Structure 1
Amino acid sequence: MKVFICERKMEVNYNIAEVYINKILFSHFWFHLLSLGLRMILSCLSSFRTLVNKSNPIASRNQSC
């Protein structure tokens, strides 16, 4: 009888651990996805900024002429 109770407790502990691991993995997945998205947005903005800076002097020269 005692062995059965001990096994049952271990099973419950494993289930709890599994739930926590799933939560951690899931939250880590969303965090990773979010950071990846932010990185992509920042890289797009920086490339757009360099594009604008490269085209801006040309536009100002054309306007001055």
Structure 2
Amino acid sequence: MTESEEAAVAVGAVRHEWCPHCLKNTLQAATISAATSQAVHVIGGYAVCEECGWSPYAEQSTAPSR
């Protein structure tokens, strides 16, 4: 990517995954990508449990310990 090139950022479809804290399939996750003139690059992701609020990306989870 050149210095003046722009990138279009997109969030992929939300998928449900296993939450190791709730022991349920309630972790909502998605991939974040950026499209440039050269290619599409995966630049990250997000995941948050809809039941307990736990996230594998958080430094400190808000979920109660079990």
Please report the TM-score for the alignment, with normalisation by the length of structure 1: 0.21
Higher share in strand = 2
Q: TM-score when scaled to structure 2?
A: 0.20
Tell which structure's C-alpha radius of gyration is larger. 1
Q: Larger helix proportion, structure 1 or 2?
A: 1
Higher-RCO chain (CA-CA 8 Å, sequence separation at least 6): 2
